[in-house]
Chains A and B, each alone.
Chain A
Amino acid sequence: MKANSRNLLQEIEEIFSEAPSANQKAWGITNDFYHFILSHMEKEGISKADLAKKLGRSRSAISQMFNKNPNLTVRKMVGIADAVGLDIAIVPTELKQELSKKIEGKYFFVVVSAGSYRQDKVAKQNAITFQNGALNLEAHCSMVSKYKAIESLC
């Protein structure tokens, strides 16, 4: 193999094996946000047209929010999440890691389901369920009780 190609392979390998930079972590938040929103919309059968209607925006404006490099502010994120019935919060990394030990998957956001409180065993005990890699809490829980509920799992 030529030295150039070998170097290129090594560089690619290094990029992925290095710990994420601040910019990569920032993209991680944006990417996770879309993952949760798209998964939730798919599960609940919510179309982009429905989302446009709920947000009172045009379909092209919604398409722009889902385009390749969106200018996504926290306000926009919260607005989109709210419109599809989710509430978001940022969980400290330490807590996220503790949660990851308890259950399979990876968590960055606490995603709160506004209406779909599952009556399963875990939910009855903690008012918390885990679905599709998202942590669901009852929407009417206060932030304090949400964190307490999470802490109780750790």
Chain B
Amino acid sequence: MPINFKSDVKVHFCEIKIHSSYGKVLNRIYHVVENGHPIALGPFKDINQDIQDKVKDLISKMATVKDYQAPIIKNHLKGYDFGEICPKPHRFFFFHKYGTNLIFFGYALKKKDSFPDSFYAKLNKEKERYESEFEKFIARNRRNI
């Protein structure tokens, strides 16, 4: 469960514990929980079991293997420093790297496989907001992280 869940803090970061069989964790994986809702990985439960299995393996490998590459992972989108996992057409899980932490901060379900530039610009602002919240989160939980 998330560390230091204070009621006055609206944005939280839940760490995903990777099963030990995947090896030593090199990058900690977090997902954003805003106002109590897991905005980035909540929809993960809605995708079918087979694709869930694939994404679980990918995220676990992103945590335990350096620079893990896959056709459905893009590390940099439109020159921005955040990336996406697109496990199915029209479904996107957005993440960014902060030191040795990978933070899943957004999800999109769109009818198209590409987005206008304005979408990425907006997403980048969201990323920056969460990055700033993550810095505060680290400061609050320095002993545990």
In the complex, whether B22 has a CB less than 8 A from a CB of chain A is yes
Contact between B36 and A5, CB atoms less than 8 A apart: yes
Give the secondary structure class of A's interface: helix
A20 CA / B57 CA spacing, docked (Å) = 8
Contact A16:B16 (CB < 8 A) given known A9-B38, A106-B23: yes
In the complex, whether B8 has a CB less than 8 A from a CB of chain A is no
Contact between A16 and B56, CB atoms less than 8 A apart: yes
Total residues of chain A contacting the partner, CB 8 A: 41
Contact between A35 and B69, CB atoms less than 8 A apart: yes
Instruction: Specify which chain A residues have a CB less than 8 angstroms from the CB of B23 in the assembled complex.
Output: 100, 105-106
Contact A24:B53 (CB < 8 A) given known A31-B70, A106-B23, A106-B64: yes
**Which chain B residues numbered 17 to 76 have a C-beta less than 8 Å away from chain A?**
17-19, 21-24, 29, 31, 33, 36-38, 41-42, 44-45, 49-54, 56-61, 64-72
* Chain A-chain B contacts (Cβ-Cβ < 8 Å), number: 115
Instruction: Specify which chain A residues have a CB less than 8 angstroms from the CB of B61 in the assembled complex.
Output: 28, 31-32, 35, 106
A105 CA / B23 CA spacing, docked (Å) = 8
Instruction: Specify which chain A residues have a CB less than 8 angstroms from the CB of B65 in the assembled complex.
Output: 35, 105-106, 133
Instruction: Specify which chain A residues have a CB less than 8 angstroms from the CB of B29 in the assembled complex.
Output: 16
In the complex, whether A94 has a CB less than 8 A from a CB of chain B is no
Interface pick from B85-93, B115-123, B136-144: B85-93
In the complex, whether A120 has a CB less than 8 A from a CB of chain B is no
A100 CA / B17 CA spacing, docked (Å) = 20
In the complex, whether B1 has a CB less than 8 A from a CB of chain A is yes
A44 CA / B67 CA spacing, docked (Å) = 16
Instruction: Specify which chain B residues have a CB less than 8 angstroms from the CB of A34 in the assembled complex.
Output: 69-71
Query: Per-residue 0/1 for A29-66: is the Cβ within 8 Å of any B Cβ (1 yes, 0 no)?
Result: 01110110011001000000000000000000000001
Closest to B68 in A: A35
In the complex, whether A1 has a CB less than 8 A from a CB of chain B is yes
Contact of A15 among B21, B37, B56, B89 (CB under 8 A): B56
Instruction: Specify which chain A residues have a CB less than 8 angstroms from the CB of B33 in the assembled complex.
Output: 5, 9
In the complex, whether A144 has a CB less than 8 A from a CB of chain B is no
| 20 residue pairs from A and B, CB less than 8 Å apart | A2-B36, A8-B38, A12-B16, A12-B31, A16-B59, A16-B60, A19-B19, A20-B22, A20-B57, A23-B50, A27-B54, A31-B54, A31-B57, A35-B68, A38-B71, A39-B67, A68-B71, A105-B23, A106-B23, A106-B64
Other contacts beyond A10-B1, A20-B21, A106-B61: 12, CB < 8 A: A12-B31, A16-B60, A19-B21, A23-B49, A23-B50, A24-B53, A30-B54, A32-B61, A38-B71, A42-B69, A68-B86, A106-B65
